[in-house]
Amino acid sequence: MQTQTTPTAPQPQTTGRSLEHPRREEIRLEDVLHALSEPMRMRVVRTLAEEPGELSCSVFDLPVSKSTTTHHFRVLRECGVINQIYRGTAKMNALRRDDLDALFPGLLDSVLAAAALQEGRGGGDRG
């Protein structure tokens, strides 16, 4: 974090400022549910669940500003739902499936299934 403005760039630091993640045992159910209760974040999580690997923030194209997008990704990371790392100029996101499944077996799957069902009923956006 100490941005010393090192002009000669000693170590390239492998393209990453550090990002804080809660450890598995620190993840709390209420935080996960709260994170998932926000439609925009649910959308992100559902997209991430469909994809095998990592996705950069920019591929989501949410109908909100860039700063709001940053905010939502941060909430998801800080509550332990996603893992984020920098790769070059992009920031890659991945669902913390293993951790969530270990902590709350079946939860993520049923939430995802519920979201899909609701969308199928036409409740995808707003009534």
Partner DNA sequence: AGTGTAGTTTGACGATCGCCGTACTACTCC
Partner DNA sequence: GGAGTAGTACGGCGATCGTCAAACTACACT
Only one of the segments 42-50, 82-90, 98-106, 118-126 lies at the binding site for DNA (rule: CB under 7 A); that segment is 82-90
Q: Which is nearer to DNA, 68 or 110 (CB)?
A: 68
Q: Phi-psi region for residue 55, left (φ > 0), alpha (ψ -120 to 50) or beta?
A: beta
At residue 56, the 3 state secondary structure works out as: strand
Residue pair 123/60 in contact (Cβ under 8 Å)? The answer is no
Helix or strand run (H / E) with residue 44: helix 39-50
x/- map, 25-64, DNA, by CB under 7 A: ---------x---x-x---------------xxx-----x
The binding site for DNA (CB under 7 A) comprises: 3, 5, 12-13, 15-17, 34, 38, 40, 56-58, 64-75, 84, 86, 88-91
